[in-house]
Amino acid sequence: MASTPPSRRRFLALSGLTALSASLTAACGGGEPGAGRAAGGKVTLAWWNIATTEPGKSLFPQISSAFTAAHPQITIKTTSLENEAFKSKLTASTSAGRLPDVFQTWGGGVLRQQVDAGLVEDLTDAFGWSSDLTPVSLQAYQFGGRTYAVPYDVGMVGFWYNKKLFARAGITAPPATWAEFLEDVGKLKAAGVTPIALAGKEKWPGHFYWAYLAMRVAGLPALQQAATTKDFTSAGFVRAGAHLKELVDLRPFQTGFLGAGYSTPGGQAATMGNGKAAMELMGQWGPSVQVDAGADLGADLGFFPFPAVDGGTGQVTEVLGGGGGFALRKGAPKEALDFLKFFVLDNESKLLASNGYLPVVKGAESRIADANRKAVADSLVRATGFQLFLDQAYPPAVGQEINDSVADLIAGKRTPEQVTESITEAAQGA
Amino acid sequence: MPSPVSTLTEERTQDTPPARPPAPARSFLRGVRSWASVAWFLVPALVLFLVFVLAPIAVAVHTGFFKWGGAGPMEDFVGFENYARLFGDEVFLGDLERGLYLIALSLTVQLPLALFTAALLNRRLRGRAVYRMLFFAPYVLSEVVTAVLFTMILLPGDGMADQLAGRLGLEGLQGRWLADPSTVLPTLFVVMTWKYFGFHMMLFLAGLQSIPGEVLEAAAIDGANAWQRFRSVTLPLLGPTIRISVFLSVIGAIQLFDLVWVMTAGGPNHSSETMAISMFQFGFKRYQVGYASAISVVLFMISLVFSLFYQRYVLRRDLSGAVTTGGAR
């Protein structure tokens, strides 16, 4: 992102918004049609979100009804769907070329495809208040310097670990390098502790390892470059795979991990929450899913960033993550963006207090009470680089191939070279 | 017509015309009317069939010729490239192989088991109604419920399957059921059998009860022992039921999806993937809608060709008047 002084951008944005909100307040003021607005300017917004579980399940409707109460001429028709159902439904709507006015997006390759198909509104000019948000939170939705969605949540992946089990294995401090990490895995095994919980059935948790190793060894620019040259066969990526193989060869995962789900009974989160494994590599949602599927580790739970790799170009402060945002359909009513501003800025404290989302507004991280969420938020604030989850950053065909071939590597069915070859093949075919 | 019988019928036909009102205009009108009422009853079903069956098939065939990511206009016409890629894809060829494996197991294990149970439960047996209900009950559950249930049973460590294996001294199997490429397919087959053998058992029971007791009694009087009675009387008379049962089994195995999707999602490493799962992966995970459509077309063609051939050559006697017999009776 170009670093123009925020004050100026903010001023421009504010002036634009005051023009907009003037008409709005006029409209709801005396019930008379405002200047420049047609009589009876009723607006209906179709809003698709994925808030089917708490806290969003009760918070999202609260926010939308607060908004419509303040703007009676606007009606919001909400559709809440579970993640996978949402993706299927949105795929179908995308194919038909008819998207809802406001819809959940994770950015990256999927959003890019929708943008390229001319289905998504370019928000850049109307979205001056983006300067109030952390740059990291916006990155997943920006292509070629244009912004296509408003984030409401951002997080990152790191190691969640069980302090008690680490202590039992005689490990005093979390590992800072990959070599130390492998050593600690050995110590945990020697102490009779399963070092790592992994959901082999779902594949995406496994892709975090390869993605982070690629970031640490080959570096962020290499990952971005590979996306454009469609060539993942460089030595850095092969070495990333080789490092992952070093870990796999230690057999660090729980029994039957290849068939294990993530949040299902007996899956990765339950194994971790029930204290049957010492760590998991997971996003900021990790602790809440542990509580849901297993038990609350409480003060025994700690967080450390993915270790650095000796001889690699990447920094330990570069993070792999992602979040949630809302994009607008091309030609959606301009009130939709007002709604998003209300949602993100005016309700930031509610989103934070709900314990389900991490802040996208600058400076909000200092208000987090929970130690683990604070650790994640602090890492994000200090991040010197950000990479969106690879299975979302790249076109879906490439992302899924990364998941698939890394899963094969973890199962011992593919070599590091074969992984890079099949990802390259998918990238060139996509 | 020399025979007295036909004379009789001739006389009869001669008798009938006066009884029938001869007005040709009215009968024409009646013909139109009956056609109109047939059409009236047919239209709703026909419209639904067109919109929800034929049209989607046509769309899938059309989409299968394009390279299309699901968004934007469909422009990249690639002809049969998707199909060429399909038959060079290890996973898809594996899908076919796994399909055949499941069909073979169904026919050699599941159906004989169902037949055996049906034969047992067809005898006078205390509490046979209870047994019948118990064996049939799993069929009533949805595939997803079955899958979730067995996921719990097969959990590594705490699951019932592991506990049982431990007691039986089969420690080698512990934690592997769904987690090992070599055990996952047999495990899934056991679950499929648990769910579906009761249904086939019910079919066989119905078939067994339609066999007249006199025939078996006659065979017994002729000195046939139990096995001979079963082999030479029961089995041939059960033919139509067995043929239908085989048909349903094969089609079910070809289209297997829900159970596998929930239990393994096709893994580990594609070792339990079916055609329907590959189709879903490419269509809804990789957004390669053109390629996924090609898979669905192949899946459809396999089912269609199998059904037509099976009906034409195997079910011929059971389905007089069907399309595949040219309407012959």
Q: pLDDT tens for residues B300-326?
A: 999 999 999 998 888 887 766 555 555
The CATH number that applies at residue A164 is 3.40.190.10
Residues B179, A200: C-beta atoms closer than 8 Å: yes
Query: DSSP letters of A253-295?
Result: BPTTGGG--SSSTTSHHHHHHTTSSSEEEE-TTHHHHHHHHS-
Asked whether residue A271 carries a pLDDT value surpassing 80, the answer given is yes
Q: Is residue A18 scored above 50 in pLDDT?
A: no
pLDDT at B1 over 60: no
- Say yes or no to pLDDT of A283 above 70: yes
Residue range B249-275, pLDDT digits in tens: 999 999 899 999 999 988 888 999 999
Going from the C-alpha of B273 to that of each of A425, B253, B257, the distances in angstroms are 21, 12, 9
Inter-chain touch B156–A256, beta carbons under 8 Å: yes
Q: How far is CA A426 from CA A137, A403, A419, B186, B286, in A?
A: 28, 12, 11, 31, 10
Contact B265 A202 (CB under 8 A): yes
For residue A199, name the pLDDT band (cuts at 50, 70, 90): very high
CB-nearest partner of B69 from A97, A113, A203: A113
**Which pTM was predicted?**
0.81
pLDDT tens-digit map of A396-425 = 889 999 999 999 999 999 999 999 999 999
Query: Which residue type is seen at A133?
Result: L
Examine the domain organization and report whether A212 and A100 are in the same domain.
Answer: no
On whether both A194 and A145 belong to a single domain, the answer is no
Nearest alpha-carbon partner for A380 in A109, A158, A56, A174: A158
- What confidence score (pLDDT) does residue A180 get? 96
Mean pLDDT of chain B: 86
Which of B71, B157, B265 comes nearest A117 by C-beta? Answer: B71
Q: Which of A201, A402, A423 to mutate to test the interface with B (most CBs of B within 10 A)?
A: A201
With CB atoms and an 8 Å threshold, state whether A201 touches B264.
yes
pLDDT value of position B323: 55
Instruction: Identify the residue among A148, A258, A419 best suited for mutation to test binding to B, counting B beta carbons within 10 A and taking the highest.
Output: A258
Pick B269's closest partner by Cβ from A110, A264, A411: A411
For CA atoms B91, B95, B101, B102, give the dihedral sign: positive
A141 and A68 belong to one structural domain: yes
Residues A352 and A243 in one domain: no
pLDDT value of residue B324: 55
pLDDT, tens digit, 9 for 90 and up, residues B90-112: 999 999 999 999 999 999 999 99
Q: Note the pLDDT of residue A2.
A: 37
Please say whether the beta carbons of B290 and B296 come within 8 A: no
Question: Is residue A1 assigned to a domain?
Answer: no
- Mean pLDDT for A304-321 is 93
The strand pair at A318-328 and A385-388 is best described as: parallel
Closest CA to A374 of A303, A311, A278, A305: A303
What is the number of other CB atoms lying within 10 angstroms of the CB of residue B216? 17
- Answer yes or no: do A204 and A264 share one domain: yes
**Min Cα separation A250/chain B (Å):** 18
The overall average pLDDT reported for chain A is: 86
Torsion from C-alpha of B204, B206, B211, B212, nearest 10 degrees: 150
Cis peptide before B268 (omega within 30 of 0): yes
3 state DSSP class of A323: strand
Sign of CA dihedral B216, B221, B227, B232: negative
pLDDT value at position A430? 67
Does any domain span residue A217? yes
Confidence check: pLDDT of B66 > 70: yes
What integer pLDDT is reported at residue A172 of this predicted model?
Answer: 93
pLDDT (average), residues A24-37? 33
DSSP lists the bridge partners of residue A279 as: A161, A196
Quote the pLDDT of residue B20.
Answer: 54
What separation, in Å, do the N-terminal and C-terminal C-alpha atoms of chain A show?
Answer: 27
Instruction: pLDDT band for B5, please (50, 70, 90 cuts).
Output: very low
Q: Do B287 and A203 touch (CB under 8 A)?
A: no
Q: What is the pLDDT of residue B12?
A: 46
Which pLDDT score is estimated for B171?
81
pLDDT at residue A427 tops 80: yes
Residue type, A106: W
Nearest residue to B257 (alpha-carbon basis) of B280, B233, B231, B284 = B280
Same domain, A125 and A174: no
User: What local confidence, expressed as pLDDT, does residue B62 receive?
Assistant: 95
Q: Is the pLDDT assigned to residue A227 strictly greater than 80?
A: yes
Question: pLDDT (tens digit, 9 = 90+) per residue, A81-99?
Answer: 988 788 888 888 888 888 9
C-alpha count within 13 angstroms, C-beta hemisphere, residue A371: 9
Assigned domain for A275 exists? yes
Interface residues from chain A to B (CB-CB < 8 Å): 87-88, 91, 94-95, 97, 110, 113-114, 116-119, 200-203, 254-261, 264-266, 395-397, 400-401, 407-408, 411, 413, 430
Rg value, chain B, Cα = 27
Instruction: Tell me how far apart the alpha carbons of residues B185 and A365 are, in angstroms, rounded to a whole number.
Output: 49
On the question of pLDDT at A26 being above 60, the answer is: no
| pLDDT tens-digit readout, B192-243 | 999 999 999 999 999 999 999 899 999 999 999 989 999 999 999 999 999 9
B33/B315 Cα distance (integer angstroms): 36
Quote the pLDDT of residue B75.
Answer: 85
Q: Within a 10 A sphere around the Cβ of A69, how many other Cβ atoms? A: 9
Judgement on whether residues A185 and A306 belong to the same structural domain of the protein: yes
Taking the C-alpha atoms of residue B244 and residue B237, their distance in angstroms, rounded to an integer, is 13
In this model, does residue A8 exceed pLDDT 50? no
**Which of A4-18, A81-95, A330-344, B159-173 comes out lowest in average pLDDT?**
A4-18
Do residue A201 and residue B267 have CB atoms under 8 angstroms apart?
yes
A401 and A298, same structural domain? yes
pLDDT at B128: 85
ipTM of the complex: 0.77
Say if B72 is an interface residue toward chain A (CB within 8 Å).
yes
Domain membership of residue A354 (yes or no) is yes
SS3 track for chain B: CCCHHHHHHHHHHHHHHHHCCCCHHHHHHHHHHHHHHHHHHHHHHHHHHHHHHHHHHHHHHHHCCECCCCCCCCCCECCCHHHHHHCCCHHHHHHHHHHHHHHHHHHHHHHHHHHHHHHHHCCCCCCHHHHHHHHHHHHHCCHHHHHHHHHHHCCCCCCHHHHHHHHCCCHHHCCCCCCCCCCHHHHHHHHHHHHHHHHHHHHHHHHHHCCCHHHHHHHHHCCCCHHHHHHHHHHHHCHHHHHHHHHHHHHHHHCCCHHHHHHCCCCCCCCCCCHHHHHHHHHHHCCCHHHHHHHHHHHHHHHHHHHHHHHHHHCCCCCCCCHHHCCCC
Q: Which residue of B has its CA nearest to A113?
A: B71
The domain tally of chain A equals 2
Q: How confident is the model at residue A13 (pLDDT cuts 50, 70, 90)?
A: very low
Indicate whether A173 and A214 sit together in one domain.
Answer: yes
- Greater confidence, B182 or B33? B182
| B81-325, CATH topology level | MetI-like fold (1.10.3720)
Same domain? For A76 and A178 the reply is no
Read off the pLDDT of each residue in B71-95 and give the average, rounded to a whole number: 90
Is the same domain home to A279 and A423?
Answer: yes
Mutation target among B154, B269, B282 for the A interface, most CBs of A within 10 A: B269
- Residue A336: pLDDT over 70: yes
Nearest to A91 by CA among A105, A74, A75, A79: A105
Domain match, A59 and A134 both: yes
- Please indicate, yes or no, if residue A336 is contained in any of the structural domains: yes
Residue A405 belongs to domain spanning: 158-319+390-429
